[in-house]
Structure 1
Amino acid sequence: MSALVPLTGEPLALDLVNTRPANGDLLATPGDLCAWWALQAGRLPDAAPEQVTAADLAAVQAVREHTARALARARRGEQPAAADLAGINQAQSAAPAISELAWDGSAVTATRRRDGSPGRRLAAWLAEDAAGLLADPAVTKIRECEAHDCVLLFLPAHPRRRWCSAARCGNRVRVARHYQRHRAG
């Protein structure tokens, strides 16, 4: 994975889109995907496998591209392209979710799971999260980081939030402003 560590903690679909910072692709290889998956481990039903295939990576990258384009339009209140919505729907149907029933000794339990290769399952979980975010009225509140060299998206918990990360972009902008003030004086 790139030296740039991916941001995590936004809705999963935004974390996925944010793997495309201005300076590269954080999901360029199957190994990158495994590392990102491990970072998201607590948020996904499947544990990150040790290896994924190039086809698995392509499935996740396709969901990322469809999600990025659909979010770009939906956050402005515009209709996403039908092809992007269809791509997200197709990714979900490539590894359909079922509620698998089992007896645990005292009650029936239901566990949501998906069939298919690890990457197809991941792509389906991510597409499901993207579908939920796109259908949420909060989609119009998604913002792009205000740092001039950053393209990352975030869903602000506070209306005054301006940067994807206070520690990453916020500090950099504040330091640059401080330097400009003292240099001018």
Structure 2
Amino acid sequence: MTTEIKFPLISGNISIDLVNTEVVRHGTRHDLLTKTAHVLAWFYTLTRDDIIFKEQFGEDIEQWADDALPLLREMRAFLREGYEKMADGKELSTDWITHLESQIKKAPFAYQLKKNTLMPTPIGKPENALTSLIALDALKLITSNQVSNIRRCANPDCVLLFIDTHGRRKWCSMNICGNRSKVTRHQQKAQKKQ
């Protein structure tokens, strides 16, 4: 029996959502991208939520998902290191930006009109197209200065990252960690009253 993988799409940014394919459940860190089936599930989750579009890729994902897996895992490790530095108040190096630019060069962009918006369509191998879109998203976060608002979840056991647009957010998601914290506080107050 297989269970559906639940990917925490809490940012709306594909580069952060890639980083968030590593989660902690019941105190254990889990990698949600360990096999080709996971790449397919993640891809279909992203297309369902209109984060990416099938039209951005020349071939069906079933034909290239296996080749995409090691590239995605490498990109995730690279992005996690940089994003966690930013969350800790450190600066990104110019080498970090240069690496993202080199990923885009592997599949540079043309554009199509979709839903009254210009949709970047990478030209190149589909697996490079996916990492190119992820690199573009990361560079957009830098140029819009949103990368400076990347935060770690206040739950010390959580590894998820998010963008704090209002300066008040503490949790990766109320559904994931925020409610757990509220329940724990409520239980502690109830125990003190006894």
TM-score range relative to shorter protein: 0.7 to 0.9
Structure 2-normalised TM-score?
0.78
Supply the AA of the counterpart residue of 1:6. Answer: F
| Separation in 2, partners of 1:51, 1:182 | 55
Structure 2 match to 1:29: 35
**How many Å apart are 1:148 and its aligned residue?**
2.4
Alignment check: 8 A CA contact 2:5 2:41 kept? no
**How many Å apart are 1:123 and its aligned residue?**
0.8
- After TM superposition, list the pairs within 5 Å mapping 1:87-166 onto structure 2: 87-99=99-111, 112-166=120-174
| Separation in 2, partners of 1:4, 1:53 | 16
Structure 1-normalised TM-score?
0.81
Secondary structure of the residue aligned to 1:160 is: coil
**How many Å apart are 1:145 and its aligned residue?**
0.7
| Superposition misfits of 4+ residues, deviation over 4 angstroms | 1-4
Aligned partner of 2:72 among 26, 51, 60: 60
**How many Å apart are 1:85 and its aligned residue?**
2.9
CA change 1:162–1:77 in 2 (3 A) is closer
Secondary structure of the residue aligned to 2:110 is: strand
Structure 1 match to 2:84: 72
**How many Å apart are 1:50 and its aligned residue?**
3.2
**How many Å apart are 1:28 and its aligned residue?**
1.4
Task: Between 153-162 and 29-38, report the one with greater CA deviation.
Answer: 153-162
| Separation in 1, partners of 2:128, 2:121 | 12
The answer on 1:6 being equivalent to 2:11 is no
**How many Å apart are 1:71 and its aligned residue?**
1.9
**How many Å apart are 1:4 and its aligned residue?**
6.0
Supply the AA of the counterpart residue of 2:158. Answer: C
In structure 2, stretches of 5+ residues that fail to align are: none
Supply the AA of the counterpart residue of 1:181. Answer: K
Deviations 1:34-69 (A, max 9, x none): 111111111213367235343311112222222222
CA change 1:64–1:71 in 2 (3 A) is same
CA change 1:2–1:137 in 2 (3 A) is farther
Deviations 1:4-29 (A, max 9, x none): 62211412221111112231111111
Structure 2 match to 1:16: 18
| Separation in 1, partners of 2:106, 2:3 | 29
Structure 2 match to 1:176: 184
Aligned-pair identity (%) = 28
Deviations 1:86-117 (A, max 9, x none): 3322211111112479xxxxxxxx86422333
